[in-house]
Amino acid sequence: MTTQEFLGKENYTVTSQTVSESCPSNIALIKYWGKYADQIPANPSISYTLNHCKTNTILEFLADQPFSVQTFLSGNEEVKFEEKIEKYFKNIEQYLPWILRGRYIIKTENTFPHSSGIASSASGFGAIAKCLMALDELFSGKGSEEESLGKASFLARLGSGSACRSLYNGLVVWGSSDVVEGSSDLFAVRYPDEDIHAIFKDFNDWVLLIHEGQKSVSSTVGHGLMNTNPYAERRFQEARENFIPMKEILKNGDMERFITLVEHEALTLHAMMMMSDPAFILMKTGTLEVINKIWDFRKETGLPLFFTLDAGANVHLLFPNNGAEEKIKTFIESELLPHTQKNGVVKDVMKF
């Protein structure tokens, strides 16, 4: 589908409405880091969608009132987010021509802690995009579920790039790749279920809260620094190339190669940060201690506990439900939790 196909319809009957939607967060396995204008990714990415870490949003639309946005997070008004959402709504008017014809009251809550290394922008913009599509269907007449989800992914991307992946369950691809049929820079698509080995369909993601404060460098700034990073083009090419072994791994259930590739992608993300100008480091001492303990544990036991990292210090611990998970959980709780700020951990799963 092209951008033109997402343009809004001509006839709308706009009335005051209240809609509510939920959207989960996701964690990328092959990372997206670097983008072009209009939230076009510099390379394709693939992610797991979480099951429990979600944003729940109630959107009240008051028709024919002056356009404005009020946003509440867990009951507290968020003025900076209001400004961000107002700008976002103005930017997507060509796709939803009715969007500036009323006032919005948005009440949102996350089921996970703030600054936890779980992408609240992904789940947040995903939930808002779903609410907007629910309103669009009410105003213009029902579209198909597939078309609605595709357009919601398209709209979510324009708010937060990785948000477009959160609209789908399971393994999700965003960015054009010759390896994944139907993949696009404009929206995300589900990775074909029939090409995923059963071992990858029942996974745990425990997020160790190494650092719960605000990051020293935002993801937006970090993406921008890729524009002058001398290693950027090679990184983008490597991410594209990594889809070739990833396809083989997912098909044949090669856990050892999966672990190697996912950890390499996580470390490459942070290597790009350290090679930016100015350079920055988001990992903390606890991050490195956890990584080394994971490597030692895996060498000693052969059990499939491994990690990925988002753009921050917190560590996503990944391990399958394959009969060894209780030993892995015991190790995490006894050896890794002490490296968190307050014994903080968020426990989630990816089942599909």
pLDDT, position 3? 82
The per-residue pLDDT for range 83-111, each reduced to its tens digit, is 999 999 999 999 999 999 999 999 999 99
Q: What is the pLDDT of residues 174-223, one digit of tens each?
A: 999 999 999 999 999 999 999 999 999 999 999 999 998 778 888 899 99
How many Å apart are CA 265 and CA 165, to the nearest integer?
18
Question: Hey, what domains does the chain have and what are their CATH numbers?
Answer: 3-193 (3.30.230.10), 198-351 (3.30.70.890)
User: What's the CA gap between 11 and 23, in Å, rounded?
Assistant: 28
Residue type, 122: A
**How far is Cα 219 from Cα 210, in angstroms, rounded to an integer?**
18
Mean per-residue pLDDT, 50-69: 97
In 151-221, which ranges are E strands? 171-174, 188-190, 202-208
Q: Does residue 284 register a pLDDT over 70?
A: yes
CA distance 166 to 146: 15
Helix (H, G, I), strand (E, B) or coil at 235: helix
Q: Indicate whether 10 pLDDT > 80.
A: no
Q: How many CB atoms lie within 10 A of CB 134?
A: 18
- CA distance linking residue 112 with residue 119, whole number of Å: 10
pTM, rounded to two decimals: 0.95
- The secondary structure of the chain in percent helix, strand, coil, rounded to multiples of 5, reads 40, 25, 35
DSSP output for 119-132: -HHHHHHHHHHHHH
- Look at residue 116 and tell me whether its pLDDT is greater than 70: no
The string of pLDDT tens digits covering residues 308-320 is 999 999 999 999 9
Report the C-alpha dihedral over residues 179, 180, 184, 187, rounded to 10 degrees: -140
Kind of pairing between the strands at 35-36 and 45-63: unpaired
